A = this chain, B = another copy of it.
């Protein structure tokens, strides 16, 4: 089998059916050089054990998903979020993941103030960013599609993510650009240039957009090429802005999880070659 494209990274959730040893063995066998990991499975397997497993196979960790959920309005919620995110930073550092992906959090129950919620994100980052810097981890603010603004992430565009990130040094806080969340935005090209010029693009992720969306809209991402996103154009925009890092394939879809992980990975590699590389 030919080696996978050099910049391709496989996000763990794309092949959720795989254990960590299966993921690492599968990627190593396919020539995939990097993986994006999630905190829950990593903690179940052990952070140190995961780090040893991954590096032992010669793989890199392109990102750790995820910290964030910073929008609690009460002091105890804020303190809990900060404590949990400090642990996430430590885990990212132990894994050698250069980037901790942050999903900012939605509106608290009964809260209708988006501006205030976004401001609380910046407030928590003021404490978390120096902690991350000490640990050699960059924080990546990931804007999520506006359909998640209420319950998951009040940061809905790359421009908003940059507005927050730019309050901090670029080596501490950047942005994560995921095609699935950003493809519809006519300002995307300009904001990617802005992000690249400031050295703020810390991660690029790809998934395609397909309809109809499923109930809850979380688990309906499309395989590379089956949807309506110009994925190659998206990757080229990021490259044109100076991004040279891994391109993580992150597809949440139960249809993929029901299949053989190796087959899914071969399909990912094939789709990446045809539609992204």
Residues in A lying within 8 Å of B, measured CB to CB = 107, 111-115, 118, 145-147, 149-151, 156-157, 160, 183-186, 209-217, 227-230, 233
**23 examples of A-B residue contacts, CB within 8 angstroms:** A107-B228, A111-B228, A112-B228, A112-B233, A113-B230, A114-B184, A114-B186, A115-B186, A145-B146, A145-B147, A146-B146, A146-B147, A147-B147, A147-B213, A147-B217, A150-B209, A150-B211, A150-B227, A150-B228, A212-B216, A212-B217, A213-B215, A217-B217
Nearest chain B residue, comparing its CB with the CB of A111: B228
Chain B residues positioned under 8 Å from A213 (CB to CB): 147, 213, 215-217
Quote the shortest CB–CB distance from A230 to chain B (angstroms).
4
The oligomer's copy count stands at 2
Determine the distance from Cα of A211 to Cα of B160 in the docked complex, in whole angstroms.
22
A112 contacts B230, CB within 8 Å?
A: yes
B211 contacts A214, CB within 8 Å?
A: no
Chain B residues positioned under 8 Å from A227 (CB to CB): 150
Determine the distance from Cα of A113 to Cα of B215 in the docked complex, in whole angstroms.
27
Nearest chain B residue, comparing its CB with the CB of A108: B228
Chain B residues positioned under 8 Å from A211 (CB to CB): 150-151, 216
Determine the distance from Cα of A229 to Cα of B146 in the docked complex, in whole angstroms.
13
Chain B residues positioned under 8 Å from A107 (CB to CB): 228
Nearest chain B residue, comparing its CB with the CB of A216: B212
Quote the shortest CB–CB distance from A115 to chain B (angstroms).
7
Q: Which of B113, B151, B184, B233 contacts A149 (CB 8 A)?
A: B184
Chain B residues positioned under 8 Å from A147 (CB to CB): 145-147, 213, 217
Quote the shortest CB–CB distance from A132 to chain B (angstroms).
26
